[in-house]
Amino acid sequence: MFDINDIFYTLQGEGRWSGTAAVFIRFANCNLRCSFCDTEFLSSRPMSSREILEAVQRYPARHIVLTGGEPLMRDLSQLTAVLKEAGYFLQVETNGMFDEGLEQIDWITVSPKNSRTRIHRAHELKLLLEKGGEPLYDHGIEAEFKYISPLNPGHGGRVGEDSSELFDPEAAAYAAEWVMKHPGYRLSLQLHKLLGIK
């Protein structure tokens, strides 16, 4: 059984797959408690791999995003086997501190928060950039795509579907300027927050 916070259908708002219709499987809990986190991930309900598959099959997209919280805190091999057998493309969003169970993952997105990362190669790297500052260090992670994402306000305990209040235009403008000075990176603006969707 897996502790699932939510399963929902929306657009991927960040990185290489931005704008892609995707089913998000949000796992509960995280090994970190970042003050800037914009996600409510503490509530949960237990679900089996088959129940999760049935839930995602309600939607037409074949792209699944495993996110959290921190999805790799638990063994996902049984779940990913079921989802791959059903023909899904699997993307994981992780802080990089766990490296087990990635064999059936098609796309790895790492957003490191400290030096304890165990994943050293990913498809894409997402670094947070605070307005007026420098991005969090990449800790030597190799990735084909490197993104800078502006550090927006944390959720502050709010839970809801409208995420537009969590977008800071000044932080985005600063991130855009930073990327123009560091062209090895791309800007990722969290499309879902611009659109005010989940």
CATH number for 157: 3.20.20.70
Enter the pTM of the model: 0.90
Number of domains in the chain: 1
Torsion, Cα of 156, 13, 149, 95 (10° steps):
70
> Could you tell me the residue range of the domain that residue 111 belongs to?
2-195
CA-nearest of 134, 127, 101 to 186 is 127
What is the pLDDT tens value at each position of the chain, 198 positions in all? 999 999 999 999 999 999 999 999 999 999 988 877 777 778 889 999 999 999 999 999 999 999 999 999 999 999 999 999 999 999 999 999 999 989 999 999 999 988 899 999 999 999 999 888 887 788 889 999 999 998 876 544 344 445 556 778 898 999 999 999 999 999 998 777 777 777
Strand blocks (E) in 111-164: 121-129, 142-150
Q: Given this model, what pLDDT does residue 196 score?
A: 77
CB atoms within 10 A of CB 101: 17
